[in-house]
Amino acid sequence: SIGYVNGRFVDLNEPVIPIDERGHQFGDGVYEVIRVYNKKPFMLREHLERLQTSAEAIKLKLDQTLEQYEQLIKEAIEKSALTDCDVYLQITRGVAVRNHLFPDVSVSTTMTVRPAKQLPHHLRENGVSAIFHDDERWANCYIKSLNLLPNILAKQTAHEKGSYEAILVRDEYVTEGSSSNVFIVKNGTIYTTPLSKHILSGITRMAVKSIIETEGLTLVEEKFTKEDVLESDEVFITSTTSEILPIVTVDGQKIGTGKPGEIATTLYQKFQEKIANE
């Protein structure tokens, strides 16, 4: 594992964040989590483009080009000596005496590279459970912002109820998971929430969308309700760290047969092939 702070690589235990760091005080920044398979960062360009979108949305001026971030991330992976790892990249509005107004200072860039979080095998084999939870977040969830309090609270509630994920519901419709995108399958058709300011444009969602197209399956990007979820044949979530993961119960109610479905299983296999071929 290795850390990086503003131009230097550090040990992860080194105390490197100044008290007046705005990420720390305000959550005034954006981030990305990138999965590295066999030393190759998966869909790196897409992650960096989303970082740029997030930064622009909060009027944060990145001090490096996407090519420079790409180089930096590759250097960090090399230095970590890890093969399969998670890269966490965070950019904040910098260090300045606490004041809500934007300071005239350089942004802070920090990064960690750690061994990839491996999902226990039985969870992938058997699927996981989820709960419904009110989407209590703000109006701009398409920004991958450091402010994750509602996500954390929803995930913790799910965990305390013995579930893996919280499926968030805003105005009667499912938006996404606390840290994932949600898909359902009904009569062979796959549905997922359309992109809007209310959800994050997941990179895994993007990958799954392209797999669905090449496989000749049907994806409908349309809003769906809790009832639609409970009446569906399959539910699965997507994210960088969970990849494609079947949800087999929601609020204690069985989805379909209560076992991982055929479509989620196929998509997961194709996703593994996509990783190998990248």
Which 7-36 positions form the footprint of ligand PLP (CB under 6 A)?
33
Judged by beta carbon, residue 6 or residue 53, the one nearer ligand PLP is 53
Judged by beta carbon, residue 32 or residue 95, the one nearer ligand PLP is 32
SS (HEC) of the chain = CEEEECCEEECCCCCCCCCCEHHHHHCCEEEEEEEEECCEECCHHHHHHHHHHHHHHCCCCCCCCHHHHHHHHHHHHHHHCCCCEEEEEEEECCECCCCCCCCCCCCEEEEEEEECCCCCHHHHHHCEEEEEEECCCCCCCCCCECCCHHHHHHHHHHHHCCCCEEEEEECCEEEEECCEEEEEEECCEEEECCCCCCCCCCHHHHHHHHHHHHCCCEEEECCCEHHHHHCCCEEEEEECCCEEEEEEEECCEECCCCCCCHHHHHHHHHHHHHHHHC
Judged by beta carbon, residue 94 or residue 239, the one nearer ligand PLP is 239
Report the alpha-carbon distance of residue 175 to residue 201 in Å, rounded.
11
Per CB under 6 A, the segment of 105-113, 154-162, 234-242, 258-266 that binds ligand PLP is 234-242
Among 80, 112, 145, 204, binds ligand PLP (CB under 6 A): 204
Q: Is 179 in the site for ligand PLP (CB under 6 A)?
A: yes
Judged by beta carbon, residue 55 or residue 203, the one nearer ligand PLP is 203
Q: Is 203 in the site for ligand PLP (CB under 6 A)?
A: yes
Strand partners, 110: 5, 90
For the CB of residue 181, give the shortest distance to ligand PLP in the complex, in Å.
5
Catalytic residue, candidates 74, 144, 226, 274: 144
Per CB under 6 A, the segment of 65-73, 152-160, 195-203, 216-224 that binds ligand PLP is 195-203
Q: Is residue 74 annotated as part of the catalytic site, yes or no?
A: no
Q: Is 176 in the site for ligand PLP (CB under 6 A)?
A: yes
Q: Is 175 in the site for ligand PLP (CB under 6 A)?
A: no
Which 40-69 positions form the footprint of ligand PLP (CB under 6 A)?
none
Q: Is 180 in the site for ligand PLP (CB under 6 A)?
A: yes
- Token pair of 102, please? 């934007």
Q: Is 92 in the site for ligand PLP (CB under 6 A)?
A: no
Residues classed as catalytic: 144
Residues in the site for ligand PLP, rule: CB under 6 A?
A: 33, 151, 176, 179-181, 200, 202-205, 238-240
